[in-house]
Amino acid sequence: MFPGAKMYIVTSPSLVTACDRRAKTVSFAPYVVASAKRILAAGEKSVCLLSEDLLEDKGPVTLRPETMKVMQQFLRPGESLDHMMKTMLKSSVGFLDTHLARGAEVTVPLFSWVRRFVGITSTNVAYGSEQNPMKDPSVSDDFWKVDKEFAFLGLNIVPDIIAPAANRGRKRFFAAFKEYYATGSIKNAAPFIHERYGVNTKHGVSDEDIAHFDLGVCTALLVNTVPAVWWVLYHVFSDPSLLHKVRRGIEDVAFDHLKSPTAQERGLSTTTISIQHVIKDFPLLESLIKEVLRVHSNSMSARYILQDTIVTDEDGTVYLLKKDSLLAMPSGPVHANRVAWGQDAETFDPSRFLGSSQRNSTNRSPASSYRAFGGGNALCPGRHFAMNEMMSILVIMTLRYNITHLRGKWRMPKTRNHVSMSVQTPAEDLQVRITARDRAKFLAWEFIW
């Protein structure tokens, strides 16, 4: 996006922290502007509004920082996030009940299935399940066409020629979301979508460009959560001992009677599971999700140097970062750092993020060594929802279903990186069979937050 610029690569956890602390000049803002122009194809006026006050000397009063402020405010733990989680659970169960009828089994390519499941569930939360444009399979397909050719669109050079499918898909996506606003469907949207819309209209952004910006919202909602959920399901269902441990822990917290269904339960009584209660009292869930993200994320945390900036490493080494240069803080080397994570840094350990007493380890990694959601003032505002969503899906899937590989034995797939994603994706999809657990067939489920 910035041809000819010099680039710095930072892999030292302490130096990463030093760069995050200088977020004013080691800035993510120019990437927001470049993406709006090249990927979101926003109009000139909107791009100019996003370009105002890159150093943010005025505070959160211009379009870009004010939008980030309301996103952070309405996506942090609290009433708004609780409302989102209730919608997410309703949408998830609705999808599963529709596509996995009680007692039935389906054979699916797991990644494609997860992409549809998470795609509908997450965007229903944001835009409301009634008129969510992403419920339309064609709009969803158009979104993923854009993601597939993200790098070519980013060149912003004759996109009709170098990325024709993505460019056509992008136009259809924009049209669907423009219709969403024209019909007043935003009335059913989540609070953060309402507040974001209010900030944009206050600054004079048109509904057409707000629809363009929704491509960025859907990217943030989906492109990392989809592969992360895939990896969570892969690690849990491919490892019988881990699956047993997760199921046993969830069941012990949630209820005891699932182990021996009573006659009443066989009559399809409703079994109510409080996801929030399970997450709170079974910390392995959060640890497992964090470990999946540590092992499988490779975000770049790209920044642009707006002014000459000095940073100092923990050993006292001083570095001068020159103005108009690029800087990247890839999470892969940081997440594999043995000083930070121990000699088993490259091993998947679902208990890694438990307290040292529960893990039988004295190793405690510094926060700067964990970059799954970025860092500094560019820390992902949706991280709380993403974590809750992934843990919720894991609880629902392990309680209700079995997932088995069609060939019998699971194998770790080769992975690939993608310019728009922080989380690696499998190079090839896996064919799996999803079936209702025998115990679960006799229960009517209610998952609450």
Task: Evaluate whether 400 touches 375 at the Cβ level (below 8 Å).
Answer: no
Place of tokens 């122009």: 37
Flag whether 181 is in a domain: yes
Flag whether 1 is in a domain: no
| Alpha-carbon gap, residue 407 to 142, rounded angstroms | 32
CA dihedral 168, 169, 174, 177 (to 10 degrees): 150
CB atoms within 10 A of CB 198: 13
Please write the tens of the pLDDT for every residue from 293-325: 999 998 889 999 999 999 999 999 999 999 999
Which residues span the domain enclosing 88?
7-448
- Confidence band of 82 (pLDDT split at 50, 70, 90): very high
DSSP 8-state symbol, 414: P
Flag whether 137 is in a domain: yes
Task: Evaluate whether 443 touches 129 at the Cβ level (below 8 Å).
Answer: no
Handedness of CA 387, 391, 396, 402 (dihedral sign): positive
Flag whether 139 is in a domain: yes
Instruction: Please state the rounded mean pLDDT for residues 359-374.
Output: 70
pLDDT, residue 258, reads 45
Residues 6+ apart with CB under 8 A from 118: 222, 225, 226, 229, 389, 393
- Confidence band of 357 (pLDDT split at 50, 70, 90): very low
Look up the pTM and report it: 0.93
pLDDT, residue 364, reads 55
- Checking if the pLDDT of 366 tops 80, the result is no
- Checking if the pLDDT of 90 tops 80, the result is yes
| Alpha-carbon gap, residue 247 to 239, rounded angstroms | 12
Q: Is 151 exposed, middle or buried (0-12, 13-18, 19+ CB in 10 A)?
A: middle
Lowest mean pLDDT among 18-27, 334-343, 365-374, 400-409: 365-374
Instruction: Please state the rounded mean pLDDT for residues 97-125.
Output: 92
CATH number, position 338:
1.10.630.10
Q: What does the H/E/C string look like for 239-255?
A: CHHHHHHHHHHHHHHHC
Flag whether 106 is in a domain: yes
Please count the structural domains in the chain.
Answer: 1
Q: What is the mean pLDDT of the chain?
A: 92
| Alpha-carbon gap, residue 390 to 392, rounded angstroms | 5
- Checking if the pLDDT of 365 tops 90, the result is no
- Checking if the pLDDT of 419 tops 90, the result is no
- Checking if the pLDDT of 66 tops 90, the result is yes
Which parts of 153-285 are beta strand (E)?
270-274
Q: Read out DSSP for 292-361? A: HHHHHB-----EEE-S-EEEE-TTS-EEEEPTT-EEE--HHHHHT-HHHH-TTTTS--TTTTS-HHHHT-
Task: Evaluate whether 444 touches 145 at the Cβ level (below 8 Å).
Answer: no
- Checking if the pLDDT of 264 tops 80, the result is no
- Confidence band of 269 (pLDDT split at 50, 70, 90): low
CA angle 106, 110, 115 (to 5 degrees): 110
Flag whether 2 is in a domain: no
Q: Which residues pair with 156 in a beta bridge?
A: none
Lowest mean pLDDT among 63-67, 365-369, 415-419, 427-431: 365-369
Residue 256 φ then ψ, to 5°: -100, -25
Place of tokens 């009680």: 102
Provide the 3-class DSSP secondary structure of residue 423. Answer: strand
